[in-house]
Structure 1
């Protein structure tokens, strides 16, 4: 390994090359993968392989991003894991000599032909952000060889004014331009069009769903004759007051505080019949006394926007990527194989983590293990011959964090799909009810998170708060279903009759709760009680009768 010294305790890599030719050096490419990037990416928020053992990194593509002033490189990395699977990541890189531009946020020290400087993530540099924005505005498809910068028809931007990275680093990196546009740079990439790009473009070009950011442009890499990688998606920036998770959790906290002040007798509060549809005007006064009607109006408005999203996604008759499809035996085989594999994985996780659990969490985990045959049977009971509704392209990872709030209205974002799924699986057409199950599980999370984070402040025992939670949750579900079903059926979207809707919803709720259990046990075991409680409630639905 070539190195001349340590600077600030970090190795400085020395090459007899300048920046223009550095990426052509075999030694640099090898050391970049083996010695420089491996420790770097392990600490990045966007790196999704933290739970696996990294084996080695390879560069599978490297291309220049340049104008008359600056040269950057885009590199696509293949990260190989010891468990015999791979991830691909996109990282634009730059070489800077002025540390004041990047502070301590650099990848490595480099010495190039005697010039000392820093290898950095190019997104930190305004010059890079400006260059890619201007290339999207130019929209010339072929000028940059294998990289295509495209400008959407709705893009009214005239010129570059300003840019900044969004404060919260997520699984992707977002840049705000001119305080009006947002460019999402995909960090984990796939040799296929990203679903977020596909669906955003479709909804904008068809002009059929207004409550999602408009598609304004993209950056794609032609990886082979038949395959492209989506590197970036530009959309309008929707002014907002935060996401729906923050919004509803805030209102739930106020609701439970009001409940605690009023101290109603809990026997006066009853949950609805399981999955019963309810008009807001039919919500009992005893519930509205401490949970304001505005809360349920918000739930209904979110249901309306969700319905409109599905109506838009379900009306295509030409583009086969979006045309609705009937259920089929192929779909059932795909679904059952996927879910049984996922379920067995979760059972193993629970068994391996039992020693870490206690109290109610341990009781619920043991209940899950005692009923694993029942759950397995429910997952295998999916029978496409009984289903008359249609499958659509759906959101696929729909929860309250994927919704922005603006003046008590809702804007749906991030159509990338479930992080755990392959890119092909994310594009499989599914019952729109799966999105509904996702948002219901999210509401369930919001209620129980509010209880677990604040229960010491409330005037009830934990078991009593759980009873209140089920009353509140069942009415949220009822109001949402009433609005949603009325809207989609008025638009003739085929989601089936009520028995089919209830079967699919029950099935998808169980699927979602099982999926969540794996995430919680791996990422934050203390929260595993929420999906465990959800699975228990779904299996014991007679509680609602």
Structure 2
């Protein structure tokens, strides 16, 4: 008998082999995929397939990670779904005999040649974390068949001192080393270089953009002659006070509290003209009375760092992965096919969720449905022959949560790209204005989140707070645009003339709001009002969302 029941009701899997040879056992690999891993990965934060029906799991590659004293294994899993698509995941594994080391965070009970122990995620073990850190420091000297460890030129580390897992994780697992370095282990992996690795390395070694963590090393798996999987990315640890979402939401809460104390006449507050650029000195005194000028200075500083990021990404003339490109028919076809598919999906979601909406939400949802032909036409109205600017490698998933704050300065992180997109789509060169649209939508969310979470404590009706939100948002956008456009045009980055910038910004804002609508209807229908109102105002062009 190969299994036995434990007192706690869990199964113990028994094999007549030792740990070093376990992955040569076909029975182990079959039981690992069929019986062990499915319940385990379903409970992991990094597993991205929770909304889909898992069909089966396969091991598509495995390899030892070892030194003189310890042997671990890396396995690459292919998770197949009933909806006929797959995800690949990386899981390093270890065998320990002392349960205290990992508490209840084990994958399975094993008995190997009569020795009881536990199969665990190797990242929980300091011995594993130390080993991979040291191999990165060894760099090209250490290679095991298809696994390569590389040390970046900026890596000045003298050796291992300590390691710990970073707190709450989402799609990846990050390790802090020596309180100076961070190694991000990618959980969902792709048979291609990860954009985060590619762009981090480029911005550190070639373009020199200082407001992002420096590239310090990597772990890659040569999956085939032409394909490489990025397993790990090491970067400097940027000291910070949290992300820009927390920072701006905190300040917005104080701003709305001050507004509530002062009770200004709302009819005296005016939004800017649509997409108007304004200097900080042009922000009216009627707004600065309750919104401090330091808030707009921060917005301007973030715009400056964003511009510098795009300037760095747009200066390459040799490496074809980063050289700017003109707009083309191929790009337009790719863009329109992608967006129309996404738009039809969102329309279906709205139709299926109308019963969950009420009041202004329902009114805006019905407006969206009544104008779906107009929106579809606007998405299809993308004529590359009219565009003279260039496309670049961009951040691709740019919002306040992707920015760290340190002493009122901003550091941009996480260049993996849009989670819903394929790895190839994430590498398509896009107008840098798409990143700007993502940040503007994020500011819009920050304002509305502040209103939604606190409106009962403000002495205004909800509709009045929406009016203030429109006014404040338009001035944020005006200040950001002024700083950003001045900086990139001074550096001769070709983002087009003002009419082209406005067209692309409006187009990308609509694209982003449509994208957001899917998340909100699925996760928190009450918040669907934010992208719905955004779409409405973009279409009507009366003022900002």
Question: What is the TM-score normalised by the length of structure 1?
Answer: 0.99
Give the Cα separation in 1 of the matches to 2:11 and 2:361.
Answer: 47
Counterpart residue number, 1:246 = 246
Assess if the C-alpha contact under 8 Å between 2:470 and 2:543 holds in 1. Answer: no
Aligned to 2:15: 15
The alignment status of 1:297 with 2:290, answered yes or no, reads: no
Residue range with higher mean Cα deviation, 451-460 or 136-145: 136-145
Alignment pair present for 1:314 and 2:322: no
Residue correspondence of structure 1 range 112-511 to structure 2 within 5 A? 112-140=112-140, 143-511=143-511
Q: Give distance in 2, aligned partners of 1:526 and 1:77.
A: 37
1:139 aligns to what SS in structure 2?
helix
Shift of 1:526: 2.7
Change (3 A) 1:7 1:95: farther
Q: CA deviation at 1:141?
A: 5.4
Equivalents in 1 of 2:515, 2:83: separation in Å?
Answer: 20
Please tell me whether the aligned partners of residues 7 and 109 of structure 1 are also in contact (alpha carbons under 8 angstroms). no
Cα displacement string for residues 324-377 of structure 1 (whole angstroms, at most 9, x for unaligned residues):
000000000000000000000111111111222222222221111111111101
Q: Provide the rounded CA distance (Å) in 1 between the counterparts of 2:66 and 2:7.
A: 29
**SS across alignment from 1:93:** strand
Q: CA deviation at 1:7?
A: 4.3
Does the alignment pair 1:47 with 2:41?
Answer: no
Q: 3-state DSSP class of the match of 1:542?
A: coil
Any idea what SS the aligned residue of 1:17 has? coil
Shift of 1:3: 1.1
- Deviation of 1:448 after TM superposition, in Å, equals 0.3
What's the counterpart of residue 90 of structure 1?
Answer: 90
Cα distance in 1, alignment partners of residues 224 and 142 from structure 2: 15
* Contact persistence 2:473–2:544 (CA under 8 A): no
Q: Is the 8 A contact 1:316 1:324 kept in 2?
A: yes
Query: Over residues 209-256 of structure 1, what are the superposed CA-to-partner deviations in whole Å (9 max), with x where a residue is unaligned?
Result: 100000000000000000000000000000000000000000000000
> Is residue 86 of structure 2 the alignment partner of residue 81 of structure 1?
no
Shift of 1:70: 0.7
- Residue 544 to residue 83, structure 1, CA distance change in 2 (3 Å): closer
Offset at residue 305 of structure 1 (A): 0.2
Which SS does the other structure have where 1:302 is aligned? helix
Cα contact 2:361–2:528 (8 A) shared by 1: yes
Partners of 1:53 and 1:200 in 2: how far apart? 34
Offset at residue 265 of structure 1 (A): 0.3
For the residues of structure 2 that align with 1:282 and 1:419, how far apart are their CA atoms? 38
Q: CA deviation at 1:524?
A: 2.7
Partner of 2:375: helix, strand, or coil?
helix
Residue in 1 aligned with 2:27? Answer: 27
Residue 428 to residue 90, structure 1, CA distance change in 2 (3 Å): same
Would the aligned equivalents of 1:322 and 1:392 in 2 still touch at CA under 8 Å? yes
Structure 2 segments unaligned to the other structure (5+ residues): none
Give the C-alpha shift of residue 111 in structure 1.
1.0
Give distance in 2, aligned partners of 1:79 and 1:238: 34
Secondary structure of 1:436's partner? helix
Q: Deviations over 1:490-532 (max 9, x none)?
A: 0000000000000000000000011111122223333222111
The alpha-carbon distance between structure 1 residues 328 and 404, as it changes in their structure 2 partners (threshold 3 A), is: same
Deviation at 1:6, TM superposition (A): 2.7
Q: CA deviation at 1:142?
A: 5.7
Aligned residues: 545
Task: Tell me the distance in 2 between the aligned counterparts of 1:169 and 1:486.
Answer: 37
Q: CA deviation at 1:536?
A: 1.5
In 2, distance between residues paired with 1:543 and 1:514? 18
C-alpha change, 1:338 and 1:544, in structure 2 (3 Å) is closer
CA separation in 1, counterparts of 2:523 and 2:540? 27
- 1:462 & 1:356 partners in 2: Cα distance? 20
TM-superposed deviation, 1:544: 6.0
Contact persistence 1:141–1:148 (CA under 8 A): no
SS in 2 for 1:23: helix
Mean Cα deviation higher: 169-178 or 136-145: 136-145
Q: Is the 8 A contact 2:534 2:544 kept in 1?
A: no
Q: TM-score scaled to structure 2, two decimals?
A: 0.99
Tell me, which stretches of 5 or more residues in structure 1 are unaligned?
none
Cα deviation, 1:12-60, whole Å, max 9, x if unaligned, reads 1111111111111111101101110001111111111111111100000
- What is the alpha-carbon distance in structure 1 between the residues aligned to residue 335 and residue 543 of structure 2? 28
Give the conservation status (yes or no) of the 8 Å contact 2:191–2:227: yes
**What is the alpha-carbon distance in structure 1 between the residues aligned to residue 453 and residue 77 of structure 2?**
40
Deviations 1:445-465 (A, max 9, x none): 000000001000001000000
Asked whether the 8 Å contact 1:279–1:479 carries over to 2, the reply is yes
Contact persistence 1:17–1:113 (CA under 8 A): yes
Aligned-residue RMSD, C-alpha: 1.1
Measure the CA separation in 1 of the matches of 2:365 and 2:32: 45
Q: Is the 8 A contact 1:396 1:434 kept in 2?
A: yes
Deviations 1:122-168 (A, max 9, x none): 00000000000000000025631110000000000001000000011
CA distance in structure 2 between the partners assigned to 1:324 and 1:248 by the alignment: 32
Q: How many angstroms apart in 2 are the aligned matches of 1:189 and 1:75?
A: 11
